[in-house]
Amino acid sequence: MKIQDITVEYQHNPIGLDTAAPRFAWKLADDSQNIYQKAYHIQVSKDDEFRELAWDSRKVDSDESIQIVYNGETLTSFTEYFWRVKVWDQEETETDWSDIGRFEMAMMSWKDWEADWITPEYDYKAPKTACPILRKEFQIGKRVTKARIYVTAKGLYELWLNGKKVGRDFLTPGWTSYNKRTLYQVYDVTDMLKEGGNAIGATIGSGWYKGELGWRSRRNLYGGREALIMELHMTYEDGAVEKILSDGTWQSSYRGPVICSEIYHGETYDAQKEILFDTYGCGFEDWFHVRVMGAAAKDILHAQECPPVREKLVLRPVELLRSPNGQQILDMGQNMAGHVRFRVKGKAGERVVLRHGEILDSEGNFYSENLKGARQRVEYILKDEQEAVFEPHFTYQGFRYVLIEEYPGEIKKEDFEGIVLYSDISQTGKFHCSDENLQQLTQNILWGQRGNFVDIPTDCPQRCERLGWTGDIQIFCDTAALQMETPLFLRKWLHDVAAEQFPSGGVPWVVPDIYDDTYAYDLVGYTGQSEKVAAAWGDCATVVPWNLYQAFGDKRILEEQFDSMKKYVEFIRKQGPCEYTWEGQHQLGDWVALDAPYGSFVGATDVDYVASAYFAKSTEILYKTAEVIGRDKEYKIYRELHHNILKAFQEKYVDEDGELTVKTQTALVLAANFGLVSEELASNYMKKLAEWLKETNYDLITGFVGTPYICHALTKYGQVETAYKLLFKKEYPSWMYQVTKGATTVWEHLDGIRPDGTLWNPRMNSFNHYAYGSIAEWIYRDITGLKICEEVPGYKKFQICPRLGKELDSAEFAYESMYGKIVSGWKRTEDKIEYHITVPVNTTAELRLVGSELLECQVPYQKIKDEYVLETGSGDYWFTMRE
């Protein structure tokens, strides 16, 4: 047995942690079967020879290999630590020590900050939209052996040192509830310094901090001045430490090349105004002073909590089009979020002007009406006749097509690249199947997650919105966790959910919260309570943490978020008219369901029904969370509350004959999937739904609330064939309809492009909106069968229970769990089914395989109805069954 892939807080050798008790994890590899860990031994040291130990766990009898909490001496700011682990298997065979890992602490208290917030002096001769530059020159007289930068900004920043960009990150410091929580980043710049003169500087864009946000394009939501705080710590070979701090000695200028840069609208860059601000003795003379912002808070500063946004993929245009109206348009072949990097050569003052859009109209011309005012325009002004390569700095676009409005010389598609930006989280799930349309659908869903995981979970990446809609991620978080390693990304966002929670306990529609009443009225004709809270949206406060715990065994996220979860449930409890239902409030309901009344976005399902259903769901999660983290008193209180909610729900919404009083598909789905009624009634409801769908030719008409659960509920109660038919329907309305129309991401509306080629209302018609992509969870969990064992989270124990349909000949899902790769695959060969299952070391699986006869098996099994049930430990397994 070998130890591999050791991590601290989900990261490999991180620098810049401010977690007092970080957690360790490792994976185990062994070609034998049924291997598990019996004990482990961790050492943490201040030196890589492990002479100065900070923690020695000694041998611990435990099979845990993830989420192992540090339990040594107090970790100190700016200190680098080394760690290693060894384990014993069930036969007491001891491994070698693992490779040595590292982690480095940032500032363990905000009081460690010595630098000041600084802001540039305003230049009335510069463009009002210009992005300022701040810089400082300094001397180094000795060899530097270690150097770290701690930096953040009010606005988005790019930091440069001696002619090179610091780090590989984009859109730093990301988006948080800035006035409550601002994240700083830590960079290793040891190799970027030199003896003699050095120069450091930053350009700051408006970004989310003071740029335009929302449909009404309001500015300065968090403040009106860009600012920077930075510390450069240099350790010399003699052990001495010197610090360069942001303070009143810095210089500033608004006369740099970034004339304007906005998240929604793009960027204008004049290369003729470039300044070598990151070069010692740059020669520019019109520098202004800076102001020290003495009152600016430092106690809101926290070390980076999630992976930064980075360049993740590079796409080449598949075609250079000439549209019917004579426009030249690049087709990237994929709807994406990011920007275009291009090469250009021309004369000084000539321009490149690009506009970005998701689709072409029915005639094949560039289309941008659905952007709702987001210009998505990039302009570059050439400096001289030398060839230049450019990409924007403080903006990103959602697009597939690029309209080239201006470009000097011949346009060649080879001179353009699509730079795909999203948070630097790894892909964990890969799906393959025999059906091209289903394969494309799962790729569309993955691309939707990429495009909407740009530092926060957004609704869309293109129009004047791109907000952290809480309902979208609430329904998508299970799918998200199966496709990518989401815990750090969503944990950071959940901290903002708690920070933005209203005093009443309600959770805003969007996090970070930018809404006001006029904005909300524009959306849904909203009037009423000043706090904008909606069922299925606010429930992100309970659903998302519980999902992270289930998927990654992350108990800490439950501990951190428990008070927020409790406040939210108590908020609902006070909404009345009785404490066991949620009624009478403005709700968003089954959003964009096709059964909505004409002119409404809200589906036909009674909004109070939806609200009370989610009240039950969140309360159930809350009492289970209390049990997990040892809050016995709350466990009893909220388990009883859940019981009373179910009783009140059944009294209000279930007739004496067992029929629901709310006659919609979503109502049936929620009752069955949330356990709101007896198993017998739930089974009857799904039979009724199956008949309903058959009568309507399997039309998909549910909205954001019903769609994530519809196939789960059908499958749970024996209607697998109906679930398959619903998924594989190609005609509108369906999931596959979008694929047949050439979609490369999931649409906001099932009829974003109608069968006759007309488009849905441009007021709200995104073509990159992952909510309907939540069907992927059913694809991975039921078609290929990978299910979590709730009692043993993190895939320490799991179930493989594939549900086969005649529409497929094969399907396989490979998932990189915290313990290692899990594989569940099957394929048909004549009248047989071949299953391939991989179970990681230190885990166990229950296999439930469908077939009439198990032909080959070396594992003990039972036959229960039409399933063969097997319990197995680690290893690769192949089974052949007669269908």
pLDDT tens, 88-97? 999 999 999 9
Beta strand segments in 710-785, E: none
Distance CA 541, CA 535 (A): 11
What value, to the nearest 5°, has the Cα angle with vertex 38 and ends 37 and 42? 80
What pLDDT score does 156 carry?
Answer: 98
Active site residue 465: yes
Among the listed residues 311, 465, 634, 816, the single catalytic one is: 465
HEC secondary structure over 811-867 = EEEEEECCCCEEEEEEEEECCEEEEEEEECCCCEEEEEEECCEEEECCCCEEEECCE
* Element housing 124 (H / E): none
| pTM for the predicted model, two decimal places | 0.97
Contacts of 269 (CB under 8 A, 6+ apart): 257, 258, 259, 378, 379, 380, 381, 390, 392, 393
pLDDT in tens, 471-527: 999 999 999 999 999 999 999 999 999 999 999 999 999 999 997 544 444 555 554
- Using CA of residue 636, residue 640, residue 645, residue 650, what is the dihedral sign? positive
Among the listed residues 748, 777, 812, 816, the single catalytic one is: 748
Q: Which amino acid is at 295?
A: A
Cis ω before 457 (30° cut-off from 0): no
Q: Is 220 left (phi over 0), alpha (psi -120 to 50) or beta?
A: left
What pLDDT score does 521 carry?
Answer: 45
Q: Are 257 and 127 in contact (CB under 8 A)?
A: no
* Element housing 699 (H / E): none
Q: Are 148 and 17 in contact (CB under 8 A)?
A: no
Helices (DSSP H) in 733-826: which residue ranges?
735-740, 775-778
What pLDDT score does 525 carry?
Answer: 53
How is residue 166 written in tokens?
């610091």
Q: Are 479 and 776 in contact (CB under 8 A)?
A: yes
Distance CA 845, CA 62 (A): 19
What pLDDT score does 523 carry?
Answer: 53
Single out the residue of 156, 139, 125 nearest to residue 267, CA to CA: 156
What is the DSSP-derived secondary structure letter of residue 877? E
Distance CA 489, CA 474 (A): 14
Helices (DSSP H) in 17-149: which residue ranges?
none
* 718 φ, ψ (degrees, to nearest 5): 85, 10
Distance CA 221, CA 211 (A): 8
* 781 φ, ψ (degrees, to nearest 5): -85, -20
What pLDDT score does 522 carry?
Answer: 52
Single out the residue of 22, 4, 19, 14 nearest to residue 68, CA to CA: 22
Q: Is 364 left (phi over 0), alpha (psi -120 to 50) or beta?
A: left
CA-based radius of gyration for the chain:
28
Q: Are 534 and 586 in contact (CB under 8 A)?
A: yes
Contacts of 19 (CB under 8 A, 6+ apart): 9
Beta strand segments in 191-318, E: 196-205, 227-236, 241-245, 251-253, 258-262, 266-270, 290-292, 301-303, 309-315
Distance CA 464, CA 375 (A): 9
Active site residue 748: yes
Distance CA 446, CA 439 (A): 11
Tell me the three state secondary structure of residue 483: helix
| Residues of the chain predicted below pLDDT 50 | 517-521, 527
Distance CA 400, CA 391 (A): 17
What pLDDT score does 215 carry?
Answer: 81
